[in-house]
Amino acid sequence: MKNSNQYTTMVNNKYKLKVWDILKIIVKPIFEQFPYIFLFLNMMGFWTVYNLAVDRLTATEMLSTIPSWSNLYARAVVLILFAYIGAVLMTVIRNKPLKRFVKILIYVLVLALFLIRYFIRRNFDLDINPTCFVLLAETTGAETADFINQYVFSTGALSTLLMLVVYTVAIFTLEHLWSKKKDWLKKMPSCAKKIVYAILFFLLLSGVYSTKIYWTIYNIQIPDNIRLLNPPADPISSVYTSLVSLHIMKDNVQDAIEINKNVYASENAYTIQDDSVNIVVVIGESYIKWHSQLYGYNLNTTPNMSAEERDGRLFVFNDVISSSNSTSIVMRDLFCCNNSSAREQWYDYPSFLTIFKKAGWNVYFWDNQRSYAKLATFSFTLNSFLYNPELEQILYSKTNSTTFKYDADIVDAFNESLDVAGRKNLILFHLLGQHVAPSGRFPHDTFKHFTADSIDRKDAFLTEEMKEYIADYDNATLYNDYVMSKMFDKFKDSNTILLYFSDHGEEAYDFRKHCGRDHGKLSSMVLKYQYDIPFVIWCSETYKKNNPEIVERIRQAVNRPFVLDNVCNMLFNIGGIKTSYYRENLDLISPNYECKERIIKGEYVYEKIRYAD
Ligand SMILES: [Zn+2]
């Protein structure tokens, strides 16, 4: 009995011994390569995580744009894991010259990545993103020379050089000091050592667990959705997410090219009406339906559109929503004949523009966002579709080449460059609308109509500054109405039908201390402000006279629930276009229209959240 007990104790001791030995072996590279670990964390993300943590601590309220504590922890431990992997490589190699080579190589890679990111941040206020890789791949020798000439003596380049010097000195100094002082660990009391081992092991373990985000990113269908996951933004993770985005977009755009090419070559699309006609589609930006006088707002933000409504030329639709609050997702679903509520993907369906063109129409696309935030990821995903050189040939007859600070100028530019009389034209405008920040969306000398004093609201959270912001949002809305009046003027004497809608809504301190859009939790109010959209159809007197039947159908449809991305079906109907891609049950002005379930963000039923209480 005694023997057996002794044996158990011995086994237990041996087992305990083993656990600590294994932990020691696991964490050993961290101590061996401590200077490297320290510098890696410093260069790759310590300051990012630190700054985000400070934001989190000093945030006066819960904002979805600030990462949660668990997200910050995940980011930090993933970095520690990455650093650790390098340290393991440096430690396990026994061959001295090889060991030295690997160590130098890892240092060089980490330092290069750090400096590249530092440089583009300083010079372009950008992070590593898919566009950087596209530019890199497309850059020619001459452009590289230009680039070097332009930036070699910039302050960004000089401070990058300074960073190179600082970190190189730091590497040599710390490595040197560490090689002399390594034995302090041996002097540490054993219980303290155990605590340190256990903590480090736990950090590494949670690092391994947190890498599951990379798997989620790998399996994502839409590149725009990656940022909704709030992924780590250190340079290594940014390279990874950029490459995944590029890969998905390349595949998707390839599919889109294929289907549009096929449809353009073989689809039997034709027009049944002979009159010359203009269908104008104006795509607004970030328009909050509830800031429009047309939908009962208490300020006169739409005098021109309201006048057109009174005169019976403008029809206001009351229940239209967008299936996403991201411009690039909305634009792709809008341009393509897929039905997002049935979870159909944009790249599996042709664009309605291709079908109009195939049916003999001129298709014009005047896009005032063409050069907007050109280097951002969302522009990359959208523009790699809209302006793919092969697709451009199929989709459009002509596009704009210049963009303008204010939207009215793009209407003038269109009028000056094209005479559209006497043909069948599909004309699309894409405006900057009320995109953040709204104060930059209208000329202040002529459209600074509303001020903080005009905002008659009693919410306790509203400061004077917020009221100023709301007033500017309303000024931008008023300016948008002026842009629309220019369109009405341009087309009033022709056979024209015009659709205006926004890609999605927005928030301007409407019910909480928040402006812009967010991608956090959905609620009834979030849906009301960010997903409900204004949607109107305007008909010139000529159009009304020539097409009484269509006008009557429009009149009957104004209260039907609708999701924006199905608008192509109504356009086929209005244009008298016969195509196999037309779906009558999705055509808002068809007597056979039916709206089953409206799905937003690919998964949520709109009605369930919007009318929850
Ligand atoms: Zn947008």
Question: Average pLDDT for consecutive 10-residue bins of the chain (613 residues)?
Answer: 60 69 90 92 81 72 67 91 95 91 95 90 76 70 69 80 94 90 74 89 96 92 80 88 88 93 86 85 97 96 97 97 91 95 93 95 94 72 88 94 94 90 91 92 95 94 94 97 97 96 96 83 93 98 96 97 97 95 97 93 91 82
Q: 454-488: string of b/e by CB count within 10 Å (b at 16+)?
A: ebeeeeeebeeebbbbbbbbbbbbbbbbbbbbbbb
Residue pair 253/469 in contact by the 8 Å Cβ criterion? no
Q: Which positions ≥6 away from 3 have C-beta within 8 Å? A: none
What pLDDT is recorded for position 377? 67
Note down the domain range covering 556. Answer: 272-580
Residue 602 gets the label, from left (phi > 0), alpha (psi -120 to 50) or beta, of left
* Inter-residue contact 337 to 356 (CB < 8 Å): no
Asked whether residue 96 is assigned to any structural domain, the reply reads yes
Instruction: Answer whether residue 596 is part of any domain.
Output: no
Give 256 Cα–ligand 1 centroid separation in angstroms: 22
Whole-number Å distance, alpha carbon 518 to ligand 1 midpoint, is 12
Residue 558 lies in a domain: yes
Question: How far away, in angstroms, is 102 Cα from ligand 1 center?
Answer: 47
CATH number of the domain within which 348 lies? 3.40.720.10
What was the pLDDT predicted at 596?
85
Quick: pLDDT tens for 104-113. Answer: 999 999 999 9
- What is the rounded CA–CA span in Å between residue 555 and residue 563? 18
How many domains, the chain? 2
Gap from CA of 476 to ligand 1 centroid (Å): 15
Whether 234 and 356 share a structural domain: no
CA of 219 to the centre of ligand 1 (A): 25
- Please say whether the beta carbons of 459 and 420 come within 8 A: no
What's residue 62's pLDDT? 46
**116 C-alpha to center of ligand 1: Å?**
30
- Are 369 and 333 within one domain? yes
Q: Could you tell me if residue 16 is inside a domain? A: yes
Q: What Rg value do the Cα atoms of the chain yield, rounded?
A: 30
| Angstrom distance (rounded) from CA 290 to CA 75 | 38
Sign of CA dihedral 595, 601, 603, 609: negative
d(CA 286, ligand 1 centre) in Å: 5
Q: How many CB atoms lie within 10 A of CB 116?
A: 15
287 CA distance to ligand 1 middle (Å):
9
Same domain assignment for residues 428 and 521: yes
Task: Give the Å distance between the CA of 586 and the centre of ligand 1.
Answer: 23
- Only one residue has tokens 């400070």, namely 54
Asked whether 329 and 385 are in contact (CB, 8 A), the reply is no
Cα 82 to middle of ligand 1, angstroms: 36
Q: Are residues 232 and 281 in the same domain?
A: no
CB 523 within 8 A of CB 555: no
| Nearest of 157, 32, 41, 33 to residue 110 by alpha carbon | 41
pLDDT at 462: 93
- Both tokens of residue 196? 């340190």
Q: Quick check: 126 and 375 in contact, CB under 8 A? A: yes
Report the pLDDT value the prediction gives residue 141, as an integer from 0 to 100: 66
Rounded CA-CA distance 291/301 in Å is 7
Q: Is residue 112 part of a domain?
A: yes
Q: Give distance in angstroms: CA of 365 to centre of ligand 1.
A: 17
What is the Å distance from ligand 1's center to 56 Cα?
27
Residue 21 lies in a domain: yes
| 239 located within any domain | yes
C-alpha 325 – ligand 1 centre gap (Å): 7
Q: What is the pLDDT of residue 12?
A: 63
Gap from CA of 405 to ligand 1 centroid (Å): 16
Q: Which residue bears the tokens 């890696």?
A: 40
Element (H, E) at 537: strand 535-539
- Ligand 1 centroid–CA 207 distance in Å is 36
Residues 486 and 538 in one domain: yes
220 and 340 inside one domain: no
338 with 234, same domain: the answer is: no
In a shared domain, residues 280 and 141: no
CA of 382 to the centre of ligand 1 (A): 11
Residue 262 lies in a domain: no
Residues 421 and 465 in one domain: yes
Measured in Å, residue 334 CA sits from the centre of ligand 1 at: 12
Residue 177, Cβ density class (10 Å: 0-12 exposed, 13-18 middle, ≥19 buried):
exposed
- What's the gap in Å between 504 CA and the centre of ligand 1? 6
Residues with CB under 5 A from ligand 1 (ion): 285, 327, 503
Find the 327 Cα to ligand 1 centroid distance in Å: 4
Kindly state whether residues 468 and 561 are assigned to the same domain.
yes
Output the CA 337–ligand 1 centroid distance in Å.
19
Q: Ligand 1 centroid vs 285 CA: distance in angstroms?
A: 5
pLDDT score for 143 = 67
Whole-number Å distance, alpha carbon 225 to ligand 1 midpoint, is: 15
Percent of the chain whose pLDDT exceeds 90: 64
Ligand 1 centroid, distance to 453 Cα (angstroms): 28
- 326 CA to middle of ligand 1, Å? 6
**Whole-structure pTM value:** 0.79
Instruction: Report how far ligand 1's centroid is from the alpha carbon of 112 (Å).
Output: 35
Whether residues 361 and 440 share a domain: the answer is yes
Q: Note whether 225 and 280 are same-domain residues.
A: no
